[in-house]
């Protein structure tokens, strides 16, 4: 999977968040979008994911075999961020089964294994509404990282995690990142520890 941006920009009213972003993200690559809070790095990640419409330029999603339509890209990626909500009436088991109606897990990963990997196997029958913010973030990371898709996008993935949670996140990425394209929006090195390519949002102001 490759994602190509050509002169992409995003503005709200008359204020440009970023402009003239020309980048290529290649399969197997590890990319970090860096910048201080409020700089637009999360907005850029959402634009790349197709969650927010860009204001100028073009974005192309492709594989060696074909170009993927914008409205089909969601089938090829997962997105984890603290501001996306879970269905709080679900139990953890129900949340995983609901997610699997849209995205299958990687081969060999069953719901019980997914819970165990993030240390939540004892909370299988507990409603999400009673989970701490850190537990909810672990669920979001598990659902994203363990899904069998070629592109993984992470926005400040360690938000609400304690040291043990950060270790869980890093272990998931190390063991299950595979040859996927991973893009992380962050200003915390422990979140983008695996990244070799850095994109500084300040270069596109």
| Structural domain boundaries in the chain | 2-204
Ordered per-residue pLDDT tens for the chain, 205 residues: 999 999 999 999 999 999 999 999 999 999 999 999 999 999 999 999 999 999 999 999 999 899 999 999 999 999 999 999 999 999 999 999 999 999 999 999 999 999 999 999 999 999 999 999 999 999 999 999 999 999 999 999 999 999 999 999 999 999 999 999 999 999 999 999 999 999 999 999 9
b/e per residue 187-202 (b: at least 16 CB within 10 A):
beeebbbebeeebebe
CATH tag, 2-204: 3.40.50.300
Contact call for residues 162 and 133 (beta carbons, < 8 A): no
Among residues 42, 124, 26, 116, the alpha carbon closest in space to that of 84 is found at: 42
Contact call for residues 2 and 62 (beta carbons, < 8 A): yes
Contact call for residues 9 and 21 (beta carbons, < 8 A): yes
b/e per residue 86-108 (b: at least 16 CB within 10 A):
beeebbbeebbeebeeebebeee
Q: At what angle are helices 133-145 and 92-100 packed, to 10 degrees?
A: 30
Q: Report pLDDT for 9.
A: 98
**What Rg do the C-alpha atoms of the chain give, in angstroms?**
17
Residue 66 to residue 60: CA distance in whole angstroms:
11
Residue 15 to residue 132: CA distance in whole angstroms:
37
Residue 71 to residue 38: CA distance in whole angstroms:
28
DSSP 8-state secondary structure symbol assigned to residue 148: -
Distance of CA 188 to the CA centre of its chain: 15
């Amino acid at each position: 999977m490759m994602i190509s941006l050509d002169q992409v920009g995003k503005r709200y009213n008359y204020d440009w968040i970023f402009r003239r972003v020309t980048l290529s993200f290649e399969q197997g690559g590890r990319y970090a979008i860096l910048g201080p809070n409020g700089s637009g790095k999360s907005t850029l990640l959402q634009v790349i994911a197709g969650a927010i419409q860009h204001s100028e330029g073009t974005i192309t999603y492709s594989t060696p075999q074909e170009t993927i339509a914008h409205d089909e890209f969601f089938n090829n990626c997962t997105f984890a961020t603290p501001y996306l909500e879970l269905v709080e009436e679900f139990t953890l088991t129900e949340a995983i089964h609901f997610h699997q109606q849209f995205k299958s897990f990687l081969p060999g990963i069953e719901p019980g294994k997914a819970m165990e990997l993030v240390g939540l196997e004892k909370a299988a029958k507990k409603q999400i509404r009673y989970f701490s913010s850190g537990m909810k973030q672990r669920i979001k990371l598990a659902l994203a990282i363990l899904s069998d898709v070629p592109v993984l996008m992470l926005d400040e993935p360690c938000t609400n995690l304690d040291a043990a949670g950060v270790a869980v996140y890093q272990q998931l990425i190390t063991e299950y990142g595979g040859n996927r394209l991973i893009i992380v929006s962050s200003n915390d090195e422990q979140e983008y520890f695996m990244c070799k390519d850095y994109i500084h949002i300040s270069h596109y102001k």
